Amino acid sequence: MSFTAAQSILAANDPHRAAAGAVLVADDLLWPSRSAVPCPAAVLLEGELRRRGVRTARGHLHVGTADRVPVALRAVFPVTGGEAGLGLAIPGHPSPEVTAAVYSAGAAWLAAAGRTRKVLLAAPRSFCAGVERAIEIVARLLDQRGGPIYVRKEIVHNRHVVDDLRARGAVFVEELSEVPREATVVFSAHGVSPAVRAEAKRRRLNVIDATCPLVTKVHTEARRFAGHGHTVLLIGHAGHEEVEGTLGEAPERTILVESVEDARRVRVPDPSRVSYLTQTTLSVDETAAVVAALRSRFPALRGPASDDICYATTNRQDALKVVAEEADVLLVVGSANSSNSVRLVEMARRQGTPAHLIEDARHLRPEWVTGASVIGLTAGASAPPRLVDAVVSALGGLGPLTVEEREITRETVHFTLPVAVRS
């Protein structure tokens, strides 16, 4: 249906006829005398309405000559493999503000519908081996022992993962003081400082360590460099849990360096005894610039035997570069507190490609894709693959869609589980 035709539907329905209630976002459109039309893009309408402060409900939308509630939008258009639709209904007696928001949201996503598009999937994307290991540790503990299983901080930086595990009985705490004595506690994938381990021992907690082995490697290097009398310059972001844990390994000998500017200003007791380490989820290019600035000041600067930035971070950044070159816009699935996800957005923007971080499909905005023919799509290492699949499905509900993958490498890394949780 054209935008003009849809506008006539909007104008023809009186939104003040029905009982009060949430705005209905159609999962499918139902007619008395024809097949149902699915609405895979319903999640996009739902997200737009929620951003505008409108309460929503999902379900079947019965449309026809005797609609029981005023239909604000019903549109059907061709998609790959058949037809799809968009539908909204406004029960009750909404305020003029709600009415305007519903009509505006419907028009915005309708303007994005009916266009042929291509999605380019970056590969690798989504979960890495360290994230999979951490999530499996908590899941197995819940299966073996039942809840509650306490987890210090978020096991990984993704809201969906945390919410799923919380629903199964995991209890996420900020500090060990919130954990009952002698209870089981899991340390997150980001690692902890020796002080936290000592506190757990004092409280007689049963500790299961889900620290990513690549983060553990950085901790080991910090202790080794500090043990040799070096000042350790840790490149990373203040306040990030991984950085706090690494700083705690040798706090009297470690200095945080967040930028090239910090590298140009930092002072050390002995310029001949300086080493650097990095947070594992940084931008490869930006980190190289910081290291170069440090090396120009400290020619004797030593670094780790192999890069601290983990293989998964590097692979996802390299894959993104390939996709960003072809895309009109790039979407990164991940949470706002996920460092590696945020770095992907920043990298795409530095390449000149508009890029946006989305928690899930509900956070996708119509203005980002209305004029886009090629949409790049990836996900941070802590984002579940199903969230990427949901974005593709929603985009496929807007019009004909082809999906292509750009794989730069295939990851085969696997980390073993702690003995305490193995079957």
Query: Is residue 338 marked as binding?
Result: yes
Query: Is residue 280 marked as binding?
Result: yes
Residue 275 β-bridge partners: 232, 302
Mark whether 325 is an active-site residue.
no
Q: Strand 149-152 to strand 56-62: parallel, antiparallel, or no bridges (unpaired)?
A: unpaired
Query: Is residue 39 marked as binding?
Result: no
Vertex 232, ends 262 and 336: CA angle to 5°?
Answer: 60
Distance CA 291, CA 295 (A): 6
The secondary structure element, H or E, covering residue 257 is: strand 254-257
Would you call 42 exposed, middle or buried from its count of C-beta atoms within 10 A (0-12, 13-18, 19+)? buried
The tokens for 36 are 């149902």
Query: Is residue 228 marked as binding?
Result: no
The tokens for 73 are 């939008």
Query: Is residue 341 marked as binding?
Result: no
Query: Is residue 414 marked as binding?
Result: no
C-alpha 125: how far from chain center: 11
The tokens for 86 are 């968009």
Backbone angles phi, psi at 419, to 5 degrees: -55, -35
Query: Is residue 93 marked as binding?
Result: no
Query: Is residue 16 marked as binding?
Result: no
18 contacts 57 by C-beta, under 8 angstroms:
no
Query: Is residue 337 marked as binding?
Result: no
Query: Is residue 283 marked as binding?
Result: no
Of residues 242, 244, 249, 359, which has the active-site annotation?
242
Cα–Cα distances in angstroms (integers) from residue 245 to residues 112, 219, 242, 253, 378, in the given order: 45, 8, 5, 14, 28
Distance CA 87, CA 63 (A): 9
Query: Is residue 393 marked as binding?
Result: no
> Where is the binding site for dimethylallyl diphosphate, in residues?
157, 190, 240, 338-340, 382
Residue ranges of the annotated binding site for isopentenyl diphosphate are 157, 190, 240, 338-340, 382
Annotated binding-site ranges for [4Fe-4S] cluster? 128, 212, 310
| Active site amino acids | 242
Annotation: binding site: 128, 157, 190, 212, 240, 280, 310, 338-340, 382
